[in-house]
Amino acid sequence: MIYRKRLPRLRLMALLPVVVLVLAACGSGGGSPASGTPSSSASAAAAGCAALAELDGKVEDHGTQPLTGQAVTVNAGDFFFEATCLTSAAGGTVAVTVTNIGSALHNFSVESQGIDEDVAAGESITADVELPDSGTLGFVCKYHSGSGMVGAFVIG
C-alpha cells in the first residue's frame, strides 16, 4: 500500500525538471516577431541563435558570429549553416560568401531580396546582401529549410 501512495509523488518529481525547462523556455522575454526587435544579447545568446533571431520551426543551430567589416564567409554543411546567426550593430551591404562543405547540393536564398544561389559540394558563391538598419533578415537553403537549414542576420 505504501508503494502505491508514493508512485504518484515519484512521477511528479520526475516531471518537475521538464516542467521547469518548458516554463523557462516559454517565459523568456525578448522582442516580438512583428517588431523585428531582437532580444537582449545576453539573454538571447544563452537561449541560442533561434531565440536571438526569432526563427520559427526547426533550426540546426551552429552558433552566432559577429559581422566585422563588409564581408563574411558562411559554411553550408549537411544540413546547417555555420554560423547560423550573424550579428551586426548596423545595417549596410555585406558580401556573403557561402562555401558548401557538405556533400549535397545546397542553396543560399534571401527571398525578400531576390537572392537564390545554388552552391555545389566543394564550391562557393558570393552574394551581396543589404542588411536592414535594425531587426532580422532571414536566409535559407531552399532545398533543406525543412531540415533546419535556416539562418538570419540580426542587426541592432
- Concatenating the DSSP letter of every residue in 32-93 gives -TTTTPPPPHHHHHHH-HHHHHT--S------EEE--SSEEEEEEETTEEESSEEEESS-EE
Which residue segments constitute the domains of the chain, with CATH numbers given?
2-155 (2.60.40.420)
- Amino acid symbol at 41: S
User: How does strand 135-140 pair with strand 150-155?
Assistant: antiparallel
Q: Which helix (H) or strand (E) holds 28?
A: none
CA distance 89 to 57: 26
17 in Cβ contact with 25 (< 8 Å): no
Q: Looking at the predicted structure, is the pLDDT value of residue 30 above 60?
A: no
139 in Cβ contact with 110 (< 8 Å): yes
62 in Cβ contact with 80 (< 8 Å): yes
CA distance 90 to 148: 27
Q: What is the pLDDT of residue 49?
A: 78
The per-residue pLDDT of the chain, averaged, comes to 77
Q: Looking at the predicted structure, is the pLDDT value of residue 19 above 80?
A: no
- C-alpha distances in Å from residue 50, one per residue of 59, 101, 119: 7, 22, 24
Q: Looking at the predicted structure, is the pLDDT value of residue 115 above 70?
A: yes
pLDDT > 90 fraction of the chain, expressed in percent and rounded: 58
Q: Which residues of 8-24 are buried (b: 16+ CB within 10 A; e: fewer)?
A: eeeeeeeeeeeeeeeee
Could you report the per-residue pLDDT of 31-74, keeping only the tens digit for each? 333 333 333 333 344 457 778 777 778 889 899 999 999 999 99
pTM attached to this predicted model:
0.69
